[in-house]
Amino acid sequence: MIDAINQTFALFQVNYHNQYYSAFGDTTNSEDLAKNLWCKKLKHFSPLTICNAAEKIIAESDYLPTLNKMLNACRHVGMPPNIPTIRKAYQEACNLPSPKTEQHWSHPIVYLAGRDVSWHLLANETESKVLPIFSDIYQQYCDRILMGEKFAVEASNETPELEALPASKKHNQQQIQHLKELLN
Protein backbone atom coordinates (compact mmCIF):
# COMPACT_ATOMS: atom_id res chain seq x y z
CA MET A 1 0.00 0.00 0.00
CA ILE A 2 2.77 2.43 0.96
CA ASP A 3 4.62 1.63 -2.27
CA ALA A 4 1.46 2.27 -4.29
CA ILE A 5 0.95 5.68 -2.61
CA ASN A 6 4.63 6.57 -3.12
CA GLN A 7 4.39 5.51 -6.78
CA THR A 8 1.24 7.58 -7.22
CA PHE A 9 2.84 10.69 -5.76
CA ALA A 10 5.93 10.14 -7.91
CA LEU A 11 3.73 9.92 -11.02
CA PHE A 12 1.93 13.11 -10.02
CA GLN A 13 5.24 14.85 -9.34
CA VAL A 14 6.52 14.03 -12.84
CA ASN A 15 3.25 14.79 -14.65
CA TYR A 16 2.08 17.82 -12.70
CA HIS A 17 5.50 19.23 -11.87
CA ASN A 18 4.65 22.91 -11.23
CA GLN A 19 1.30 22.17 -9.60
CA TYR A 20 2.89 19.49 -7.45
CA TYR A 21 5.59 21.80 -6.09
CA SER A 22 3.05 24.56 -5.63
CA ALA A 23 0.89 22.22 -3.53
CA PHE A 24 3.65 20.57 -1.52
CA GLY A 25 6.54 23.01 -1.74
CA ASP A 26 10.08 21.86 -1.22
CA THR A 27 9.43 20.44 2.24
CA THR A 28 8.64 16.79 2.71
CA ASN A 29 6.42 17.49 5.73
CA SER A 30 3.30 18.50 3.79
CA GLU A 31 3.91 15.74 1.26
CA ASP A 32 4.22 13.17 4.08
CA LEU A 33 1.01 14.42 5.68
CA ALA A 34 -0.79 14.12 2.34
CA LYS A 35 0.59 10.61 1.76
CA ASN A 36 -0.54 9.51 5.22
CA LEU A 37 -4.04 10.89 4.62
CA TRP A 38 -4.29 9.25 1.21
CA CYS A 39 -3.04 5.96 2.64
CA LYS A 40 -5.79 6.02 5.29
CA LYS A 41 -8.55 6.97 2.86
CA LEU A 42 -7.51 4.58 0.08
CA LYS A 43 -6.81 1.59 2.34
CA HIS A 44 -9.73 -0.52 1.08
CA PHE A 45 -8.45 -0.38 -2.52
CA SER A 46 -5.78 -2.72 -3.81
CA PRO A 47 -2.37 -1.25 -4.69
CA LEU A 48 -2.98 -2.16 -8.34
CA THR A 49 -6.29 -0.25 -8.33
CA ILE A 50 -4.57 2.82 -6.82
CA CYS A 51 -1.82 2.80 -9.45
CA ASN A 52 -4.30 2.25 -12.30
CA ALA A 53 -6.49 5.09 -10.99
CA ALA A 54 -3.45 7.41 -10.90
CA GLU A 55 -2.65 6.54 -14.51
CA LYS A 56 -6.29 7.11 -15.50
CA ILE A 57 -6.25 10.56 -13.88
CA ILE A 58 -2.98 11.47 -15.60
CA ALA A 59 -4.45 10.42 -18.97
CA GLU A 60 -7.66 12.41 -18.48
CA SER A 61 -6.80 15.49 -16.42
CA ASP A 62 -4.52 18.48 -16.76
CA TYR A 63 -4.68 19.19 -13.04
CA LEU A 64 -3.24 17.62 -9.91
CA PRO A 65 -6.10 15.59 -8.44
CA THR A 66 -7.72 16.04 -5.07
CA LEU A 67 -8.23 13.09 -2.75
CA ASN A 68 -11.91 13.05 -3.71
CA LYS A 69 -11.02 12.75 -7.40
CA MET A 70 -8.61 9.93 -6.58
CA LEU A 71 -11.29 8.08 -4.56
CA ASN A 72 -13.72 8.34 -7.47
CA ALA A 73 -11.07 7.15 -9.94
CA CYS A 74 -10.27 4.16 -7.71
CA ARG A 75 -13.97 3.29 -7.53
CA HIS A 76 -14.28 3.52 -11.30
CA VAL A 77 -11.13 1.54 -12.08
CA GLY A 78 -11.73 -1.16 -9.46
CA MET A 79 -15.39 -1.74 -10.24
CA PRO A 80 -16.28 -4.97 -12.04
CA PRO A 81 -17.50 -4.32 -15.60
CA ASN A 82 -21.05 -5.64 -15.06
CA ILE A 83 -21.95 -3.01 -12.44
CA PRO A 84 -24.27 -0.40 -13.96
CA THR A 85 -23.84 3.32 -13.35
CA ILE A 86 -25.93 4.88 -10.60
CA ARG A 87 -28.31 6.38 -13.17
CA LYS A 88 -28.84 3.09 -15.03
CA ALA A 89 -29.25 1.20 -11.75
CA TYR A 90 -31.85 3.71 -10.58
CA GLN A 91 -33.81 3.37 -13.82
CA GLU A 92 -33.66 -0.41 -13.61
CA ALA A 93 -34.88 -0.42 -10.00
CA CYS A 94 -37.77 1.87 -10.93
CA ASN A 95 -38.82 0.06 -14.10
CA LEU A 96 -38.67 -3.66 -13.36
CA PRO A 97 -42.08 -5.01 -12.34
CA SER A 98 -43.09 -6.95 -9.25
CA PRO A 99 -42.41 -9.47 -7.91
CA LYS A 100 -38.95 -7.95 -7.76
CA THR A 101 -37.12 -11.10 -6.64
CA GLU A 102 -38.17 -12.90 -9.82
CA GLN A 103 -36.71 -10.30 -12.21
CA HIS A 104 -33.40 -10.59 -14.05
CA TRP A 105 -31.21 -7.88 -12.47
CA SER A 106 -28.06 -6.59 -14.13
CA HIS A 107 -26.41 -7.05 -10.73
CA PRO A 108 -27.78 -8.03 -7.30
CA ILE A 109 -26.80 -4.68 -5.75
CA VAL A 110 -29.34 -2.92 -8.00
CA TYR A 111 -32.08 -5.02 -6.41
CA LEU A 112 -30.64 -4.58 -2.90
CA ALA A 113 -30.36 -0.80 -3.23
CA GLY A 114 -33.94 -0.60 -4.53
CA ARG A 115 -35.17 -2.77 -1.69
CA ASP A 116 -33.31 -0.66 0.88
CA VAL A 117 -34.72 2.57 -0.54
CA SER A 118 -38.22 1.01 -0.67
CA TRP A 119 -40.06 -0.06 -3.78
CA HIS A 120 -42.99 2.12 -2.78
CA LEU A 121 -40.78 5.23 -2.58
CA LEU A 122 -39.18 4.44 -5.95
CA ALA A 123 -42.60 4.04 -7.57
CA ASN A 124 -44.37 7.02 -6.00
CA GLU A 125 -41.91 9.83 -5.37
CA THR A 126 -40.15 12.18 -7.76
CA GLU A 127 -36.72 11.37 -9.06
CA SER A 128 -35.31 14.56 -7.53
CA LYS A 129 -36.29 13.26 -4.10
CA VAL A 130 -35.44 9.56 -4.46
CA LEU A 131 -32.33 9.53 -6.69
CA PRO A 132 -30.04 11.09 -4.03
CA ILE A 133 -31.19 8.49 -1.48
CA PHE A 134 -30.74 5.68 -4.00
CA SER A 135 -27.31 7.03 -5.00
CA ASP A 136 -26.02 6.99 -1.43
CA ILE A 137 -27.20 3.44 -0.77
CA TYR A 138 -26.02 2.17 -4.16
CA GLN A 139 -22.58 3.72 -3.63
CA GLN A 140 -22.31 1.95 -0.27
CA TYR A 141 -22.98 -1.38 -2.00
CA CYS A 142 -20.40 -0.50 -4.69
CA ASP A 143 -17.82 0.24 -1.99
CA ARG A 144 -18.57 -3.11 -0.36
CA ILE A 145 -18.03 -4.85 -3.71
CA LEU A 146 -14.67 -3.11 -4.00
CA MET A 147 -13.77 -4.60 -0.62
CA GLY A 148 -14.53 -8.08 -1.98
CA GLU A 149 -18.04 -8.68 -0.66
CA LYS A 150 -20.38 -10.82 -2.80
CA PHE A 151 -24.12 -10.28 -3.13
CA ALA A 152 -27.12 -12.25 -4.40
CA VAL A 153 -30.84 -11.72 -4.74
CA GLU A 154 -32.48 -14.13 -2.35
CA ALA A 155 -35.98 -15.43 -2.87
CA SER A 156 -38.37 -13.94 -0.38
CA ASN A 157 -41.95 -14.19 0.71
CA GLU A 158 -42.71 -11.10 -1.33
CA THR A 159 -46.40 -10.87 -2.13
CA PRO A 160 -47.62 -9.50 -5.43
CA GLU A 161 -48.89 -5.95 -5.40
CA LEU A 162 -52.60 -5.61 -4.70
CA GLU A 163 -53.38 -4.38 -8.18
CA ALA A 164 -51.91 -7.58 -9.59
CA LEU A 165 -54.54 -9.65 -7.74
CA PRO A 166 -58.00 -9.28 -9.32
CA ALA A 167 -60.89 -9.33 -6.88
CA SER A 168 -63.55 -11.98 -7.31
CA LYS A 169 -67.07 -11.06 -8.34
CA LYS A 170 -68.38 -12.18 -4.95
CA HIS A 171 -65.84 -10.00 -3.13
CA ASN A 172 -66.77 -6.99 -5.28
CA GLN A 173 -70.49 -7.49 -4.54
CA GLN A 174 -69.73 -7.71 -0.81
CA GLN A 175 -67.76 -4.46 -0.97
CA ILE A 176 -70.59 -2.70 -2.82
CA GLN A 177 -73.09 -3.96 -0.24
CA HIS A 178 -70.84 -2.76 2.58
CA LEU A 179 -70.58 0.72 0.99
CA LYS A 180 -74.38 0.90 0.61
CA GLU A 181 -74.80 0.06 4.30
CA LEU A 182 -72.31 2.77 5.24
CA LEU A 183 -74.14 5.39 3.19
CA ASN A 184 -77.59 4.55 4.54
The ranges assigned to domains in the chain are 2-78, 86-146
Tell me the pLDDT tens digit for each residue of 116-132. 999 999 999 999 999 99
3-state secondary structure the chain: CHHHHHHHHHHHHHHCHHHHHHHHCCCHHHHHHHHHHHHHHCCCCCHHHHHHHHHHHHHHCCCCCCHHHHHHHHHHHHCCCCCCCHHHHHHHHHHCCCCHHHCCCCCHHHHHHHHHHCHHHHHHCCHHHHHHHHHHHHHHHHHHHHCCCCCCCCCCCCCCCHHHCCCCHHHHHHHHHHHHHHHC
Tell me the pLDDT tens digit for each residue of 16-74. 999 999 988 866 788 999 999 999 999 888 899 999 999 999 999 999 999 999 998 99
